[in-house]
Structure 1
Amino acid sequence: MNASRLPFWLIAPLALLAFAGNSLLARAVLLDSGNSPGAFAAVRLVSGAILLAGLGAVRGFAILPHRRDAPTVIALLVYALGFALAYVSIGAASGALILFAAVQATIIGMGLWRGDRIRPIQAIGLALAFSGLCWLLFPGLTAPPVYAALLMGCAGIAWGVYSTVNSGDGAPVARTARNFTGAAVLGLVALAVLPFGLTPMGWALAIVSGSTTSALGYVLWYALLPQITRLTAATLQLLVPAITALGASALLGEAIGLRLAGASILILSGIALTIRR
């Protein structure tokens, strides 16, 4: 599979649908109390690792992690576990919004730590995004549980670290395979202390999430990145919570209420301002 030869108009929608699909699949699985989040995360990582190992065999790159891969392996594991644990109690749309807000905040924060300067328009954007997040999480009947939001926030921070550290790799698909292999092994070890339980449908959706919307989705995303600027990539990611909300409404019966719609507008508008050149 040489995704880099596919046109932009095909890669971009497929990658964004894959990212949104991860949230929809996770929430669909974890709505059933017969499915445990640790099992979902482990099967997702293992199935992704198996698919990427096959891709590695065809394309001739190694899949065993190197020592330098340790930060991204750990970040991928933290992301996968936090993501699954959060979706036990949080809606797909709210979870995706918090996830990608945390991802962008982490990337911006790491840029500031490395010496980037924040301009007035970016400061306004950060204030807007923060106010939207506060509105979304403010106690009330439609607010997501705080612990679930914190777990999703941790998952977003981990994914932001993973994306930033991995962004300069000259062979991102090969490194993705190594990261999945390492995270899958650690995920299986984590199951020694986490409950394991998956229904037949849970198994099927976890495998689809790992092999298709995760592994292949990341391959498509990394094939897309050389074709676009970093600003365009960040802007495209803002579409994911909107796609997730529409999918959650159509497939999972989630209501798009005033709080979610208003908070989404504030958060996404704020992030859009922070990534303007």
Structure 2
Amino acid sequence: MRLFVLTVLCMTLFASNSVFCRAALVEYGMEPGVYTAVRGLSAAAALCVLGRIQARRRGLGRGWLREVWNRGTWAGALSLFAYMALFSWGYVDMPTAAGTLIINAVVQFGMVGWGIRHGVRPGRRQGLCLIVALAGLVGLLLPGLSAPPLMGAALMAGVGLAWSAYSICGRSADDAVLATAGNFWRCAPLSALAGLAGLCAGGPATSPEALTCAVCAGAGASACGYVIWYMIVPRYSLVNASIIQLSVPVITAALALATLGEAVTLRFAVCATLILGGIALSVLEKGRNTATPGGERANGGGGKTGGAD
């Protein structure tokens, strides 16, 4: 029951990132660079507190700051910053649920591409399932009345690729709090630069409501969500860890409908069914063809596996 509650909380935090971002940018007119800075810096501040608590639990003394810094990597920090920056600019024109759907689909393809490059090739049925998912993504992006903007979709695809890179960087992490804190600390200067660029670009003053959304996204949804994910992912096989994340676009659509009043179109529903169904069948097929109970846990226990926001 504890694992189930943590999983539901984690997926909801992932989904709420999109809602907070869309609300801050569209409802309250926050500049994307400023949003990126507030989100990144507030997450780094929250993880400073969590990192100190974890350092005490591990018996680290005065050198705990250096230890946390060393747990992060520059590859992880750069991919994390790219994810946050593209996320902010992408959601300026992108509907909340559609953006999350594109991110999760591209993450899955990014992870598959990484596996192919390292000799893990999908089977024939897996390939067919991924083609179905790709067809759903293409159908969502085709020109039409309810299609999302292509520029926003391209930015969201970049978000998915950046999250794939961050996921791969985190597979060897052995401490959820310290590794996440180290990556956020390393990308904090870049977040500050993004905020400075946003302030120089001008625009309306940041409202208290927008600032609240950005802080909640950073200190709450991002910092806590990523730490919880690192905590629970070793308890799942690689297959199950991938499947549960397919719930994020559905949760996001429900949250956007309840809080932002964004309607779910028929086009989105059909394309979402193709994308999520194709990915889920592909993952299940992989589990039947290649997984062993011990091997799955070995592959899935090192860090993030798949898409999230």
Q: Does 1:85 align with 2:93?
A: no
Q: Does 1:102 align with 2:106?
A: yes
Q: Does 1:134 align with 2:129?
A: no
Aligned to 2:297: none
CA offset digits 1:164-206 (Å, max 9, x no partner): 1201211232111011111121111233333365211011110
Larger Rg: 2
Paired residue for 1:26, among 21, 25, 39? 21
CA offset digits 1:9-63 (Å, max 9, x no partner): 1110000000000011111111136311111111011000000001112221436
Distance 1:127 1:83 in 2: 25
TM-score by length of 2: 0.84
Given that 2:28 and 2:209 are in contact with CA atoms closer than 8 Å, whether structure 1 keeps it comes out as no
* 2:38 aligned partner, one-letter code: V
Paired residue for 2:78, among 74, 88, 102? 74
Paired residue for 2:46, among 51, 62, 67? 51
Q: Which shifted more, 166-175 or 258-267?
A: 166-175
Distance 1:62 1:269 in 2: 44
Given that 2:50 and 2:177 are in contact with CA atoms closer than 8 Å, whether structure 1 keeps it comes out as no
1:68 to partner: Cα distance: 6.9
Given that 1:124 and 1:273 are in contact with CA atoms closer than 8 Å, whether structure 2 keeps it comes out as no
* 1:186 aligned partner, one-letter code: L
Given that 2:105 and 2:275 are in contact with CA atoms closer than 8 Å, whether structure 1 keeps it comes out as yes
* 2:34 aligned partner, one-letter code: A
Aligned length: 272
* 2:147 aligned partner, one-letter code: A
| 2:82 aligned counterpart, secondary structure | helix
| 1:269 aligned counterpart, secondary structure | helix
Given that 2:35 and 2:195 are in contact with CA atoms closer than 8 Å, whether structure 1 keeps it comes out as no
Aligned to 2:65: 62
1:249 to partner: Cα distance: 1.2
| Shift in CA distance, 68/173, structure 1 to aligned 2, threshold 3 Å | closer
Paired residue for 1:169, among 160, 168, 173? 173
Paired residue for 1:35, among 15, 30, 38? 30
Distance 2:144 2:279 in 1: 25
Distance 1:191 1:260 in 2: 33
Residues 202-217 of structure 1: pairs in structure 2 closer than 5 A? 202-217=210-225
Aligned to 1:242: 250
Query: How many percent identity over aligned positions?
Result: 37
CA offset digits 1:73-95 (Å, max 9, x no partner): 00000000000101110011000
Q: Does 1:260 align with 2:268?
A: yes
Give the unaligned 5+ runs of structure 1: 1-5
Distance 1:65 1:137 in 2: 40
Residues 165-244 of structure 1: pairs in structure 2 closer than 5 A? 165-194=169-198, 195=201, 197-244=205-252
Distance 1:131 1:62 in 2: 47
Aligned to 1:3: none
Distance 1:21 1:88 in 2: 16
CA offset digits 1:69-128 (Å, max 9, x no partner): 011100000000000101110011000000111111111111111110210111111111
1:67 to partner: Cα distance: 9.4
Q: Which shifted more, 84-93 or 170-179?
A: 170-179
Give the unaligned 5+ runs of structure 2: 56-63, 288-309
Aligned to 1:153: 157
